[in-house]
Amino acid sequence: MSFDTIRTNDIVKYIGKPNVSIIDLRDINEYNSGHIPTAVNIPYEELDKQKNNLQRNNLLIFYCDRGNISLLAARDLMKYGYNIKSLYGGLRAYHGKLERSR
């Protein structure tokens, strides 16, 4: 089993698509300050506890600040049969629209 990385300009193809979950692995404060539209926040430290809430038949796209944590998370969860992609370069490489939480 393996997972793919996707480039930041390709993530727009997945925003709002059915059966795709974009997951921000940063902490809640970082998420609230700006995240990719439709992304949900599951901090990396909580991912192991939250993994059973994720749909195995959905495509999961992980991202973090620079891309390192999302690679670790993808490697960890692919062992459990999840369909995962990791955003190459993380949010720092993404230059699209951000949503902010209040």
Domain chopping of the chain, boundaries: 4-93
* Mean pLDDT of all residues in 80-96: 94
Class in CATH terms, 4-93: alpha beta
In the chain, % of residues over pLDDT 70: 97
Predicted model pTM: 0.94
**The two three-digit tokens of residue 20, written as one number:** 């795709």
Distances (CA, A) of 47 to 28, 42, 98: 13, 6, 23
Q: What are φ and ψ of residue 63, in 5° steps? A: -145, 160
Distance between start and end Cα atoms, the chain: 39
- Split at pLDDT 50, 70, 90, the class of 3 is confident
